[in-house]
Structure 1
């Protein structure tokens, strides 16, 4: 992907917003807007018509849309077009949309007041396979600990024991929104090693996913 532009599909039910986004993104280096859709079903129909070399690398998806909303679309993309990364773009900051989008498989989450270069950067990183949470979204994720005091199960009695120093370090970086690639670069280890440490930490704490690990770390260190 380094020698070709990142191909983007913009999905938003408001024509002015959709076309404005398309123009802004088309002006960014390394991005190419290859399609626009007003709802999820239209996006899926567009994707079905793309040849392999034309298919978007990433879809920028609004949450609230008629016919098929953004969360449903993200799930369908994960099932039918797993090579297309998704980034949520919305004006709504309610926690339910943040968590639902991430659970559905979104690689990133942006608010519509984000700067164009920030949107472009998140799209590029999501297309590379990174999970990207910008500052305000990462803060809301950690802040959910206060609003929902028991979102993470306590470690079971069968847990393998406390985390190692390296596993704890990785849990901290995940709580700060870092993707595996960023963690590997900061710790000078391979991404495979990072994944192994994450898997071990989840097993030891009897947790389901990285989000729960991030919440566990924030709660323990809070």
Structure 2
């Protein structure tokens, strides 16, 4: 099996060193590091990692613009924002830039490793505390269904509601499949149906919709 690869982009060398130690101790390969957003974009293109752990506030180019460029490049890397949340506006801008997940810098080793593995599968990682922030700041945002969609919830099947609740619990497709004793392909179908019925552009928006409409 090919090792999962991660690129670390953070202007603090000690933070990168700590992340590298944790990830490599779990069998994850850190293929490179970058101290600025510009370096991050360049190395993501050159190294083609599975996942990029991206800081937000950095010199030269911030993590939001770097995320936007990495996602727009058409590569397969998933970007996980790693932040202290001292600037919520950065977090939500990163969401719009195409970030696949969000992680607190004080997350434990297991959370860090789990985030890398979830993001590498193409799943979105949205921790409960982040969901609350998204709801508070983007409850009427452009990418989240408005109150006109209140009645849509009744169109979800029981299984689709179950899948949506597990998405809101930050579970990956594999974890949802195990929880519900169904195949991952079936989970993907349910997720696709949920996105379509709720008018959500992605899994993150679907989770926010679930909290706003009492499903989660």
**TM-score by structure 1 length?**
0.79
CA, structure 1 residues 145+43, in 2 after alignment: closer, same or farther (shift >3 Å)? closer
- Structure 1, residues 98-144: CA drift from partner, whole Å, max 9, x if none? 333333222321111112332122212322333223xxx32331354
Q: CA deviation at 1:47?
A: 3.6
Structure 1 residues 172 and 155: alpha-carbon distance in aligned structure 2, compared to 1, 3 A threshold = farther
Instruction: Give the Cα separation in 2 of the matches to 1:118 and 1:84.
Output: 19
1:46-195 matches, cutoff 5 A: 46-50=43-47, 55-80=48-73, 82-133=75-126, 137-142=127-132, 144-146=134-136, 149-151=139-141, 152-155=145-148, 162-195=155-188
Structure 2's unaligned 5+ residue stretches are none
C-alpha separation in 2, matches of 1:44 and 1:214: 29
Distance 2:77 2:199 in 1: 30
Cα offset, 1:39, TM superposition: 1.1
Structure-2 change in CA distance of 1:82 and 1:18 (3 Å): same
- Among 2, 5, 10, the alignment partner of 2:3 is 5
Are 1:35 and 2:32 counterparts? Answer: yes
Query: d(CA) in 1 for partners of 2:166 and 2:120?
Result: 21
Question: Aligned to 1:110, what secondary structure does the other structure show?
Answer: strand
Q: Distance in 2 between matches of 1:125 and 1:29?
A: 14
2: distance between equivalents of 1:201 and 1:29? 34
Higher mean alpha-carbon deviation, 154-163 vs 182-191, is at 154-163
Structure 1 vs Structure 2 CA RMSD: 2.9
User: Which secondary structure does the structure 2 equivalent of 1:221 belong to?
Assistant: coil
8 A Cα contact 1:159 1:206, kept in partner: no
Could you tell me the TM-score, scaled by structure 2's length?
A: 0.81
Residues 1:91 and 1:194: Cα distance change in structure 2 (over 3 Å)? same
Q: Give the one of 8, 17, 20 matched to 1:19.
A: 17
CA distance in 1, matches of 2:74, 2:158: 38
